[in-house]
């Protein structure tokens, strides 16, 4: 068995998706601009973008490549964005990078508590190969991974390590989503070690 299969089994009836986001910043009053997801069960993708006022278009363009043209093409009413994301979290296990920030930010936007699993941490720990990740749920696998590696890897660093440079996509958050997909693919190449057994008596 490879780690990818182990994680899919651990997700149970909430199949895994990858999620990246674009936000207006990290302060309490900042909010979500857009989210990009890849459903790993059928490889479908989704981009949801919230209508923002003109005062936010400049930072959205500077940090996330979201221009007025993208707003006209993709933006949705806020209630539809919230409903779409709420359904995503209700029906799937969500994997991303920087999960504490992502869960806090999205949770505040939705007005609810959400869970995001640290995919880079799981990949780094699984690639140690000498130790087995333990747990029957994605959250338990993440906790096991964090115990093994001590510190979550920076997303850019782990993408460089595995040769996953940003590819040319419409928006940076989409490029980051496909980098996450490259890390997910890595898990299909890493076998799960056999459980360690004690010495025979």
Residue whose C-alpha is closest to residue 151's, from 176, 128, 125: 125
Residue 58 has pLDDT above 80, yes or no: no
Average pLDDT for 63-88: 85
Average pLDDT for 5-24: 94
Strand order in 93-96's β-sheet?
Answer: 75-76, 45-50, 32-39, 16-23, 93-96, 117-118
60-64: list long-range contacts, CB under 8 Å, 24+ apart.
Answer: 60/22, 60/24, 60/33, 63/22, 64/22, 64/33, 64/34, 64/171, 64/172, 64/173
* Cβ atoms of 60 and 70 closer than 8 Å: no
More confident position, 115 or 25: 115
Is residue 197 one of the residues assigned to a domain? no
Is residue 52 one of the residues assigned to a domain? yes
Q: Which tens digits make up the pLDDT trace of 15-50?
A: 999 999 988 766 666 677 889 999 999 999 999 988
Average pLDDT for 53-69: 70
CATH number at residue 15: 3.30.420.10
Is residue 152 one of the residues assigned to a domain? yes
Is residue 199 one of the residues assigned to a domain? no
Is residue 193 one of the residues assigned to a domain? no
Residue 199 has pLDDT above 60, yes or no: no
Share of the chain above pLDDT 70, in %: 89
DSSP three-state, residue 182: helix
CA atoms within a 13 Å half-sphere pointing along the CA-CB vector of 139: 5
199 vs 42: CA distance, rounded Å = 44
50 vs 43: CA distance, rounded Å = 23
pLDDT of res. 201: 47
Residue whose C-alpha is closest to residue 132's, from 196, 49, 177, 85: 196
Q: Which tens digits make up the pLDDT trace of 144-165?
A: 999 999 888 999 999 999 999 8
Q: 83 is in which domain, residue-wise?
A: 3-187
pLDDT of res. 200: 46
pLDDT of res. 145: 94
- Largest interatomic CA distance in the chain: 73
pLDDT of res. 156: 93
Residue whose C-alpha is closest to residue 45's, from 18, 73, 75: 18
Is residue 180 one of the residues assigned to a domain? yes
Q: Which tens digits make up the pLDDT trace of 98-107?
A: 999 899 889 9
| Domain total of the chain | 1
More confident position, 10 or 53: 10
Is residue 110 one of the residues assigned to a domain? yes
Three-class SS of 26-86: CCCCCCEEEEEEEECCCCCEEEEEECCCHHHHHHHHHHHCCCHHHHHHHEECHHHHHHHHH
Is residue 129 one of the residues assigned to a domain? yes
């Amino acid at each position: 068995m490879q780690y990818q299969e182990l994680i899919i089994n651990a997700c149970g009836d909430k199949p895994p998706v990858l999620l990246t986001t674009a936000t207006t910043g990290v302060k309490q009053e900042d909010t979500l601009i857009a989210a990009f997801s890849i459903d790993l069960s059928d490889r479908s993708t989704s981009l949801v973008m919230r209508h923002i006022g003109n005062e936010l278009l400049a930072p959205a363009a500077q940090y996330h490549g979201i221009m007025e043209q993208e707003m006209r093409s993709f933006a949705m009413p806020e209630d539809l964005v919230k409903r779409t994301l709420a359904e995503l979290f209700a029906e799937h296990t969500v994997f991303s990078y920087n999960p504490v920030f992502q869960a806090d930010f999205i949770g505040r936007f939705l007005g609810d508590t959400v869970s995001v699993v640290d995919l880079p941490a799981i990949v780094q720990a699984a690639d140690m190969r000498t130790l087995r990740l333990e747990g029957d749920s994605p959250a338990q696998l993440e906790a096991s991974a964090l115990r093994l590696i001590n510190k979550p890897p920076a997303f850019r660093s782990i993408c460089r390590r595995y040769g996953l440079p940003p590819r040319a996509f419409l928006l940076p958050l989409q490029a980051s989503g496909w980098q996450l997909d490259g890390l997910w693919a890595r898990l299909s190449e890493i076998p799960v070690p056999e459980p360690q057994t004690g010495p025979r008596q």
